[in-house]
Structures are given as C-alpha cells and as structure tokens.
C-alpha cells in the first residue's frame, strides 16, 4: 500500500545563489557529509545539490510533515547504488515519523527518483508499505 507521495521542483540557479552567499553554512546545515562528498566530486556540483534538496523536500512531503514538526534536513539523505539508482535514508525524527505511519506487520520502503534539466531539478518520493513475510519456524 502507498503511505505517502511527495514531489518537489528546485531551481538550480537559486540553489547556486544560496551556495554562493552561504557556502559551507548552507551545505553543513542541509546536506550530510556523504551528500557533500558526492556533490563536490560531480561535474555538475550545483545540480547535484539541487536534486538532493528536491529529494529532501519531496521526502518530507511524503512523510506528511513538510519541513516542520521537528524534522531536520539531515534526517533525510540520498546516496546512490553502484548502478546510479538513488536511495533515500531517514534517521532521527524522520525515521520516527516513518515508523509511526507504517502499519503493524508491514515494512516501509522509500522509493526516490531524481532528474534535472537546467534550470530545474526534480524529485519524486513514494513511501510504500509491504507486508512482512512470516518466518518459518
């Protein structure tokens, strides 16, 4: 079953301006160390940050909270599988919210997809609950 859906559209040029004005203060407040390392290695550094910004916004919407109720930017982070597929991780209050919204006997799976076409970066997040298979025993 679907527990939540979120989307966000970020302007890459706006994120570039914020990075220019606030630099490390912005990076350290919003992005995990792993996210920063990934972005700084990419040719399109700003686009990478913008996609992750959009993913965090989309995830907060899928959690049904937006960026309020104690959720922190760093409670949500994006990494990539070797294939390049993005993966959303939640910790802290976001993980608590996910646990609270997941029905008993189910496991929550967060699906995330990212795209960009300058000047736009977009993310979609779908939170799905799958029944936990009974263990033989």
Say if 136 falls within a structural domain: no
List Cα–Cα distances, 61 to 14, 73, 114, 124, in angstroms.
21, 12, 15, 10
> CA 8, CA 1: separation in Å to the nearest integer?
22
For 89, the domain range is 2-131
Which CATH number covers residue 50? 3.90.470.20
Say if 137 falls within a structural domain: no
pLDDT value at position 49?
98
- Axis crossing angle, helix 45-62 with helix 33-41, rounded to the nearest 10: 140
The total domain count for the chain is 1
Say if 46 falls within a structural domain: yes
Q: Confirm whether pTM is higher than 0.75.
A: yes
Per-residue pLDDT of the chain (137 residues; tens, 9 = 90+): 999 999 999 999 999 999 999 999 999 999 999 999 999 999 999 999 999 999 999 999 999 987 666 678 999 999 999 999 999 999 999 999 999 999 999 999 999 999 999 999 999 999 999 999 877 66
């Amino acid at each position: 079953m679907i527990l939540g859906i979120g989307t966000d559209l970020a302007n890459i040029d706006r994120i570039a301006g914020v990075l220019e004005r606030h630099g490390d203060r912005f990076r350290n407040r919003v992005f995990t160390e792993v996210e920063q390392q990934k972005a700084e290695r990419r040719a399109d550094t700003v686009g990478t940050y913008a996609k992750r910004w959009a993913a965090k916004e989309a995830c907060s919407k899928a959690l049904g909270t937006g960026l309020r109720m104690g959720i922190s930017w760093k409670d949500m982070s994006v990494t990539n599988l070797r294939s390049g597929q993005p993966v959303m991780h939640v910790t802290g209050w976001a993980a608590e919210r996910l646990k609270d919204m997941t029905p008993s006997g189910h496991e929550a799976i967060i699906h995330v997809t990212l795209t960009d076409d300058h000047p736009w970066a977009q993310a979609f997040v779908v939170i799905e609950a799958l029944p936990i298979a009974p263990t033989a025993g």
